[in-house]
């Protein structure tokens, strides 16, 4: 064990009725169990939903907590903190006392076969805190507790060695119970007891439990709701093209750093042709490769439009007739494949986010905002400064510039096709942002509107009000920002400044998670989401 910990100042009591029972002393320390589980399929007993927020704050309790912002409700896998430590939205549960009697507890609300735990350190740019080893206990009434066993001994599990890498431990003896506790035993010597967690388990049928009747609702349609890797994505797009050859065309706009093609699905009554007066519209997903829900929504959108067109849906037929739609489901296929290989919970928050070269493509476009603003400041008559076509700076077009091939491909695509409107699908939040994304005075955040601000705000509202999850007034905030107060829309620069974004693009953040579990994709991505996209696109073409 690490050196003995000394108590901190008086902690805040999280649960007066819960006290961890004293255990008898042991003659010698036990060795923790190490589980090498990087390639496990977790779909049989999926995450119970700490990360996805299916588990409510009321289901989480702890022995103590260091501050309100470090309470048990913050002990969720991949939860992100605000910029400042010690505010209301910190990045973990942290115990108020440094001893081996501290715990984070989950009430599953019904008998559950608990099979494992995923642990992560505290998300913070100011402090280093993680749990190195821990024990687990189970209970049916939150009073009498039984330890997780490894044969005849209590199991001790290996936790973390850094802040962000998720570490999975499967229980040697899965147990059926209603409650589970994670009980830290050792932690980083220069830090304190802090953790984020996910719990794996399968609900057990229990007709006497009122929660037994609760079931996940999914789509009754025959659309393909699951994660698709690169090869599966290609096959799905080909199947849509085969089903609707008269209104679809697959083309590529370039290749990723590792040579994966950037495939686009075109949907139009005259595929391959730009028609005078017909608006060109595009959706892009997967700029951050690990933000996967947008990718699946676009794949399902192309299936939905194809099948509804063949079924004679007049709204879809009119949409296809009046609009040329381009869907790029994976701008960063290299990043997606990296995250896909590890899987949803074990990829963490950042694996696959960046390109193979480590470039954040959301910051990789030319910063035309500041070029325009600098020109306006130097001009005698600011009205004569062009704000609708600004050539890219010479440094950016140089072969020596640090520009991802994927970014260059999208820029060339934009130069070839006169898109009238574009939207980018991201994950990790539930909000719609509208231009500009960059502040004018280089401050961290400031409302920085375009000349078309009213239109962009209306457009953002169309989607934000139609997305029932986003618009739910009872929903919990995802991480550290309460976007409900802005009706789930915000000027991009008023959230955080992003020089080098795509500029005049709507960004739809469609999920609190970056990489949702396959079970969540299957159950919660329904055809209604595709109707929202279709209706939004239809409204755009008509306004």
Three-state DSSP state, 324: strand
The C-alpha atoms of residue 154 and residue 526 are separated, in whole angstroms, by 43
The residue ranking higher by pLDDT, 532 or 99, is: 99
The C-alpha atoms of residue 59 and residue 413 are separated, in whole angstroms, by 48
The residue ranking higher by pLDDT, 427 or 219, is: 427
Contact of 114 with 149, CB cutoff 8 Å: no
pLDDT score of 211: 52
pLDDT score of 24: 36
* pLDDT > 70? residue 51: yes
60-74, 424-438, 498-512, 516-530: the lowest-pLDDT one: 516-530
Three-state DSSP state, 194: strand
- The secondary structure of 388-408 as a DSSP string is S--PPPHHHHSTTS---HHHH
* pLDDT > 60? residue 543: no
* pLDDT > 70? residue 78: yes
Per-residue b or e along 424-457, where b marks 16 or more CB atoms closer than 10 Å to that residue's CB: bbbbbbbbbbbbbbbbbeeeeeeebebeeeeebb
Per-residue b or e along 109-129, where b marks 16 or more CB atoms closer than 10 Å to that residue's CB: bbbbbbbbbbbbbbbbeebeb
108-112, 281-285, 406-410, 517-521: the lowest-pLDDT one: 517-521
* pLDDT > 80? residue 520: no
Is residue 2 very low, low, confident or very high in pLDDT (cuts 50, 70, 90)?
very low
The C-alpha atoms of residue 236 and residue 249 are separated, in whole angstroms, by 13
| pLDDT tens-digit series, residues 466-475 | 888 899 999 9
pLDDT score of 22: 37
**Region 319-339 average pLDDT:** 96
| pLDDT tens-digit series, residues 103-124 | 999 999 999 999 999 999 999 9
pLDDT score of 207: 64
| % of the chain at pLDDT higher than 90 | 68
Please provide the average confidence, as pLDDT, over all residues in the chain: 85
The residue ranking higher by pLDDT, 39 or 185, is: 185
pLDDT score of 391: 81
pLDDT score of 517: 80
**Region 47-72 average pLDDT:** 96
Is residue 444 very low, low, confident or very high in pLDDT (cuts 50, 70, 90)?
confident
Left (φ > 0), alpha (ψ -120 to 50) or beta: where does 487 sit?
left
* pLDDT > 70? residue 528: no
Is residue 210 very low, low, confident or very high in pLDDT (cuts 50, 70, 90)?
low
pTM for the structure as a whole? 0.85
Q: Which residues, 6+ apart, have CB-to-CB distance to 284 below 8 Å?
A: 328, 331, 410, 422, 423, 424, 425
The residue ranking higher by pLDDT, 119 or 393, is: 119
The C-alpha atoms of residue 57 and residue 68 are separated, in whole angstroms, by 13
* pLDDT > 80? residue 362: yes
The C-alpha atoms of residue 201 and residue 205 are separated, in whole angstroms, by 13
* pLDDT > 60? residue 532: no
Is residue 202 very low, low, confident or very high in pLDDT (cuts 50, 70, 90)?
very high
pLDDT score of 442: 79
Residue 381's CB is within 10 A of a number of other CB atoms, namely 7
pLDDT score of 417: 96
pLDDT score of 209: 54
pLDDT score of 464: 92
The residue ranking higher by pLDDT, 59 or 384, is: 59
**Region 261-280 average pLDDT:** 96
* pLDDT > 50? residue 29: no
Is residue 499 very low, low, confident or very high in pLDDT (cuts 50, 70, 90)?
confident
Is residue 387 very low, low, confident or very high in pLDDT (cuts 50, 70, 90)?
low
Helix (H) / strand (E) element for 114: namely strand 104-120
CB-neighbour burial class of residue 95 (10 A; exposed 0-12, middle 13-18, buried 19+): buried
**Region 433-452 average pLDDT:** 90
The C-alpha atoms of residue 193 and residue 178 are separated, in whole angstroms, by 25
Residue 542: which of 327, 315, 269 has the closest Cα? Answer: 315
Three-state DSSP state, 422: strand
Domains assigned to the chain: 57-213 (2.60.120.260), 230-365+408-529 (3.40.630.10), 366-401 (no CATH)
pLDDT score of 189: 94
């Amino acid at each position: 064990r690490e050196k003995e910990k000394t108590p901190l100042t008086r902690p805040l009591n999280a649960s007066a009725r819960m006290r961890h029972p004293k255990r008898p002393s042991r003659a010698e320390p036990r060795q923790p169990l190490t589980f090498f589980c990087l390639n496990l399929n977790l779909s049989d007993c999926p995450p119970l939903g700490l990360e996805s927020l299916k588990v409510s704050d009321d289901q989480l309790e702890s022995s103590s907590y260091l501050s309100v912002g470090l309470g048990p409700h913050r002990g969720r896998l991949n939860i992100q903190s605000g910029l400042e430590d010690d505010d209301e939205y910190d990045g973990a549960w942290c115990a108020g006392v440094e001893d081996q009697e501290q715990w984070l507890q989950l009430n599953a609300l019904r008998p559950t076969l608990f099979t494992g735990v995923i642990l992560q350190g505290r998300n913070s740019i100011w402090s280093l805190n993680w749990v190195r080893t821990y024990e687990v206990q189970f209970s049916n009434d939150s009073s009498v507790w039984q330890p997780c066993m490894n044969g005849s001994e209590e199991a001790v599990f290996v936790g973390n060695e850094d802040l962000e890498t998720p570490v999975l431990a499967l229980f040697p003896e899965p147990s059926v119970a209603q409650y589970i506790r994670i009980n830290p035993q050792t932690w980083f010597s220069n830090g304190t007891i802090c953790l984020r967690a996910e719990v794996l388990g399968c609900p057990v049928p229990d007709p006497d439990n009122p929660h037994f009747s609760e079931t996940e609702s999914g789509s009754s349609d025959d659309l393909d709701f699951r994660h698709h890797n690169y090869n599966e994505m290609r096959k799905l797009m080909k199947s849509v093209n085969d089903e609707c050859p008269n209104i679809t065309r697959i083309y590529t706009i370039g290749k990723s750093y590792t040579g994966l093609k950037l495939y686009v699905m075109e949907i139009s009554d005259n595929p391959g042709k730009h028609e005078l007066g017909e608006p060109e519209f595009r959706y892009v997903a997967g700029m951050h490769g690990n933000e996967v829900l947008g990718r699946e929504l676009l794949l399902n959108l192309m299936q939905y439009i194809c099948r509804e067109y063949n079924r004679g849906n007049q709204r879809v037929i009119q949409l296809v007739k009046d609009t040329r739609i381009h869907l790029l489901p994976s701008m960063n296929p290299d990043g997606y494949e990296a995250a896909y290989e590890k899987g949803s919970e074990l990829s963490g928050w950042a694996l696959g986010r960046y390109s193979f070269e480590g470039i954040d493509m959301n910051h990789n476009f030319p910063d035309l905002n500041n070029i325009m603003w600098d020109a306006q400041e130097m001009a005698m008559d600011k009205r004569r400064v062009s704000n609708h076509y600004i050539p890219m700076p010479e440094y950016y077009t140089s072969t020596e510039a640090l520009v991802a091939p994927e970014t260059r491909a999208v820029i060339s695509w934009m130069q070839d096709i006169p898109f009238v409107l574009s939207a980018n699908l991201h994950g990790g939040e539930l909000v719609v942002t509208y231009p500009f994304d960059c502040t004018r005075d280089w401050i961290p955040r400031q409302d920085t509107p375009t000349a078309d601000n009213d239109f962009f705000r209306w457009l953002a509202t169309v989607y934000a009000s139609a997305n029932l999850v986003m618009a739910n007034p009872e929903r919990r905030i995802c991480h550290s920002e309460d976007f409900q107060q802005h009706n789930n829309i915000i000027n991009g620069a008023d959230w955080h400044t992003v020089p080098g974004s795509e500029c005049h693009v709507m960004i739809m953040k469609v999920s609190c998670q970056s990489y949702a579990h396959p079970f969540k994709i299957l159950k919660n991505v329904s055809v209604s989401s595709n109707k929202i996209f279709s209706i939004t696109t239809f409204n755009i073409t008509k306004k």
